């Protein structure tokens, strides 16, 4: 009975997508194995899952799946767990003295829900007000992508993007809004295909309602070519 209750609590936490920490919960020994060693182990695990489900792993179509999934986990969709893959942050001096808000919007987000290991797909909008230091525009896309490539909770991802940029730019004046669909909500469970989740983190000057409004207005601008 006790175990049933514990399992129920664990399921409820996941289905409600409650984040328990601002940092990705990683163990200290997370990177003692090499990527190649991890791929070898995960390959066996995926094989075991598929076999347990009753699939015939000798079938031509399924034969390569364990290897493909293991490589995809380590090298692609969860590659942002490894600090070695963190984008290098080269900054520049703001010599042209642009003191207004800079917004990089509609950054594509492909992440994975850490409670169900199903995709999170959406858009991130990132803004900062320079205090003298600027980063290349594509850097913001790369930072979003780095934190997206982990088992994630959307609130945490939003905070991690802001915290990282605050560190790189040496200012608190950074904001991020993410609007994303969670396939664990859209395709299973409640099966609501229309709903999306919006999360935001406003640092420094972005806590001022007028500054925040300016940022939100830019996000809504429709860029036509
Ligand atoms: Zn989920």
Rounded to the nearest angstrom, the distance between the alpha carbon of 134 and the centre of ligand 1 is: 35
What pLDDT is attached to residue 112?
98
Catalytic residue among 17, 114, 166, 214: 114
- 30, 36, 102, 108, 134 from 99: Cα distances, Å: 41, 46, 9, 26, 11
Question: Which residue, 54, 207, 205, is CA-closest to 129?
Answer: 205
Catalytic residue among 115, 125, 160, 201: 115
Tell me which of 138 and 186 has the higher pLDDT.
Answer: 138
Mean of pLDDT values over 91-102: 80
Contacts of 92 (CB under 8 A, 6+ apart): 133, 134, 135, 136
DSSP letters for 44-89: HHHHHHHHHTT--TTSHHHHTHHHHHHHIIIIIITGGGSGGGSPP-
Q: Which residues surround ligand 1, an ion (CB under 5 A)?
A: 113, 115-116, 184
Mean predicted lDDT score pLDDT of the chain? 91
Question: Which residue, 35, 107, 106, is CA-closest to 72?
Answer: 35
Tell me which of 26 and 16 has the higher pLDDT.
Answer: 26
Residue 125 falls in the annotated catalytic set: no
Residue 116 falls in the annotated catalytic set: yes
Rounded to the nearest angstrom, the distance between the alpha carbon of 17 and the centre of ligand 1 is: 6
Cα separation, 177 vs 173, in Å, equals 14
Residue 48 falls in the annotated catalytic set: no
pLDDT tens-place string over residues 213-223? 999 999 998 77
Rounded to the nearest angstrom, the distance between the alpha carbon of 24 and the centre of ligand 1 is: 15
CATH number for region 91-219: 3.30.1130.10
What residue spans define the domains of the chain? 30-77, 91-219
Q: Is residue 170 within a helix (H) or strand (E), and if so which, with residue range?
A: none
Write out the CATH class of domain 30-77.
mainly alpha
pLDDT tens-place string over residues 162-210? 999 999 999 999 999 999 999 988 878 778 888 899 999 999 999 999 9
What pLDDT is attached to residue 193?
80
Rounded to the nearest angstrom, the distance between the alpha carbon of 200 and the centre of ligand 1 is: 18
């Amino acid at each position: 009975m006790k175990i049933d209750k514990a399992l129920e609590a664990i399921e409820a936490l996941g289905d409600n997508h409650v984040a328990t920490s601002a940092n990705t919960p990683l163990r200290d020994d997370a990177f003692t194995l090499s990527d190649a060693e991890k791929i070898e182990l995960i390959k066996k695990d995926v094989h075991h899952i598929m076999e347990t489900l009753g699939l015939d792993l000798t079938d031509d179509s399924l034969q390569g799946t364990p290897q493909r999934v293991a490589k995809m986990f380590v090298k692609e969709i969860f590659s942002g767990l490894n600090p070695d893959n963190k984008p290098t942050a080269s900054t520049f001096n703001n010599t042209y003295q642009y003191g207004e808000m800079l917004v990089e919007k509609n950054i594509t987000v492909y992440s994975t829900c850490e409670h169900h290991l199903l995709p999170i797909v959406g858009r991130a909008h990132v803004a900062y007000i320079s205090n003298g230091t600027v980063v290349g525009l594509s850097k913001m896309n790369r930072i979003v992508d780095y934190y997206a490539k982990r088992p994630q909770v959307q609130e945490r991802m939003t905070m991690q993007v802001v915290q990282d940029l605050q560190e790189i730019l040496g200012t608190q004046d950074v904001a991020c809004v993410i609007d994303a669909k969670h396939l664990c909500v859209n395709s299973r469970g409640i099966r609501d295909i229309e709903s999306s989740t919006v999360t935001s983190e406003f640092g420094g000057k972005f806590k001022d309602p007028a500054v925040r409004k300016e940022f939100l207005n830019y996000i809504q601008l429709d860029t036509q070519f």
